[in-house]
Amino acid sequence: MEIKKTSKKDGGGLCATPKSNNTEEAKQKKYIKITQKISLALDYIILFASIALLVIGGYFLWDRKQVYEAASPEQFIMYKPTKDNKTSYKTLTRLNPDVIGWIDIYGTRIDYPLVQARDNWAYLNQTVSKEYSTGGSIFLDYRNRRDLTDFNHVIYGHHMAERKMFGDIDRFEQKDFFDKHRYGVIHRTDLPSLGVDFFAFVKTHGADTVVLTPALQESQKKQALISYVKKNAILQRPMHIGEGDRLVFLDTCDLSVTNGRYILVGKLTDNIPKNTFHEKIRRNPYIGWSKKVENIDWFGLLIVLWLILVVIYWIYERYRKRKEEKRCIGKEKI
């Protein structure tokens, strides 16, 4: 019997096989060849799919981290106006003239710059640094006066996880939390700061024009708003509200219902209450490093990693085939 070494052109494997013109054996070789090609194709498909999933998963994790980091109060806490630090806040107002103040709700992580634009869309997906982010910013309704001298003011913020932006507002639905967290402060640019005395928590919807229409002027509408809040508040504490007072409505989404809204209602005062809570927002020392990480082209890096893995896989396959060839040649000699 004559022995020959089959090659890829012959449609056989790597090891020696008896020379034969048998039709059945030829069909079997063809079947094996097709099976090997399908197996190799599946290997590459699985490899490419795995790398693609790695790239997509890595991107979404990176994007989520970017959104929550941009919405973190630590990002701008260095600019917070205090008795000992007013220069930094002025620097922030020069960087962004839309900054009109700073809102700090005692005992929560609501401690952010307050901005106002020409409409209510600008800061829905824009940070105080005017960079795109789905976390947006805390902003005053464009129909209100910048100095907070209207009868009622509406301030908006996204309801986010990890207590970002207005993520703490829903906690006021709990009576114990509502009772213990009564005060806050709003610092104004070039004007005295204002205290905030919260007296009601309301659940409503986005089309509620009674509470979401700012800068009311007519006496009848002011009285209607006061009555509406007292009638519909889930939680409230006794407080006299007159037409000469100034109110603030902190508005965020209630994700438990379609187009729902949580609204925390407070009265602005000239007296600044003392903050008795010990939780303080501190500047994150790793922000500088995170900014450097942001500048890395992670998508390009993952593509390079994918190419490296493909090359390694190709080298491994070549090495495996050569080893198999040597093994088969050794069998032929025997």
Q: What is the pTM of this model?
A: 0.69
Instruction: Please write the tens of the pLDDT for every residue from 8-58.
Output: 444 444 554 555 556 777 777 777 778 777 877 777 787 777 777 777 777
pLDDT winner (highest mean) among 15-24, 86-95, 193-202, 278-287: 193-202
- pLDDT, one tens digit per residue, over 207-261 is 999 999 999 999 999 999 999 999 999 999 999 999 999 999 999 999 888 999 9
pLDDT score of 263 more than 60: yes
Q: pLDDT exceeding 90 applies to what percent of the chain?
A: 51
CA distances from 304 to 128, 168, 300, 307, 311 (A): 34, 41, 6, 5, 11
